[in-house]
Amino acid sequence: MEEIMAKLRYLPLGPTCGPAVPIKKSDLDKIAKKYGVDISLEEVKGKNLKVDGGVMREDTMDSTLEEITQTAVTVSSKDEGAFRNAVRALIKKYHAPRTTQAFWGSTDRGKWIVTELLDEDDGWM
Query: What is the residue-level pLDDT of the chain in tens, covering all 125 positions?
Result: 799 999 998 877 665 667 888 899 999 999 999 999 999 999 888 777 777 787 777 667 777 777 777 889 999 999 999 999 999 999 999 888 877 778 888 999 999 999 999 888 665 54
Taking the C-alpha atoms of residue 110 and residue 31, their distance in angstroms, rounded to an integer, is 17
Taking the C-alpha atoms of residue 34 and residue 88, their distance in angstroms, rounded to an integer, is 12
Backbone torsions φ then ψ of 79, nearest 5 degrees: -100, 110
Per residue in 31-45, pLDDT (tens digit) is: 999 999 999 999 888
pTM of the model: 0.85
Cα dihedral sign for 29, 43, 119, 14?
A: positive
Return the C-alpha torsion angle 63, 69, 71, 75, nearest 10. Answer: 10
Domain residue spans of the chain: 4-121
Q: What is the pLDDT of residue 24?
A: 95
Q: What is the pLDDT of residue 121?
A: 67
Q: What is the pLDDT of residue 58?
A: 66
Q: What is the pLDDT of residue 97?
A: 83
User: Is it true that domain 4-121 has CATH number 1.10.3470?
Assistant: no
Alpha helices in the chain (DSSP H): 14-17, 25-35, 80-94, 108-121
Q: What is the pLDDT of residue 7?
A: 94
Q: What is the pLDDT of residue 16?
A: 63
Q: What is the pLDDT of residue 125?
A: 45
